[in-house]
Structure 1
């Protein structure tokens, strides 16, 4: 199962209104839980070892953070900005490598198609391109932090 199939499954479950979906195949076990605008996804992949029976590993619960705790005043100021969101689950990086500069900083002018960050998912580094033009006004995620699907990453002023 590749990352695109997992993303499509997450989107489908979120739109369906189901509270929990479990999918188990030979070497992949996926559990997606939704509720009160929160989505938790747990993916376990184990390669079978020759001669050993397969045993499922225990899954530690993941903490899902909510962005609902932001003050209403901040939301009204940010309403004129466009939010660049994460298209995948993974680890957010602002640089292409540790010895290189950040892709974008606050105040950087970006155009459609410019790379704004990298998200590592399943040992693959995915360049995230901007779908809007404008100026970066705020970086919402710390470098090397885990991000969820559709999590806001940047605020962009389109004017």
Structure 2
């Protein structure tokens, strides 16, 4: 299961208020528990836990906010080179598909695009710093 499929599944669980779901594909098992806002992924007997903190819960889709998270481990860059302006700044209005940052992983530079249209409310990560998988990058106030 790829990251886009997992994100879509999480959105469905959240949208329809499903309390818990378990999916097993080959050696990978994914658990999503909505009530405690926690995603647990088991792969080759290793477990990874991803939680939404209490402060983030006040900024959820029901309240008109969306958190863009890192799809991978790597180094976060707000601009393509140090002499250029950042792709986006706090207060910018963005559309779906707008390039918002780059994450470098294993010498590959991956463009990260917005999944929603809205206004950037907060940037959680400093330029040129390491990020973990699923780490919050941007908080977006969704356009209605």
Global fold match (TM > 0.5):
yes
TM-score by length of 1: 0.58
Measured after TM superposition, the shift of residue 150 of structure 1 is 2.0
- Please identify runs of 4+ aligned residues in structure 1 that moved more than 3 A: 11-14, 16-22
State the superposition RMSD in angstroms: 2.8
Trace 1:6-85 onto structure 2 (pairs within 5 A): 13=28, 15=30, 21=44, 33-35=46-48, 37=49, 68=53, 71=55, 75-76=57-58, 78-79=59-60, 80=63, 81-85=65-69
Q: Which residue is 1:136 aligned to?
A: 120
Secondary structure of 1:107 counterpart = coil
Distance 1:18 1:117 in 2: 26
Q: Which runs of 5+ in 2 are unaligned?
A: 7-24, 32-39
Larger Rg: 1
Number of aligned positions between the proteins: 110
Q: Which has the higher strand share?
A: 2
In structure 1, stretches of 5+ residues that fail to align are 23-32, 39-65
1:60-91 per-position Cα deviation (integer Å, ceiling 9, x unaligned): xxxxxx764x54xx632x23211111122211
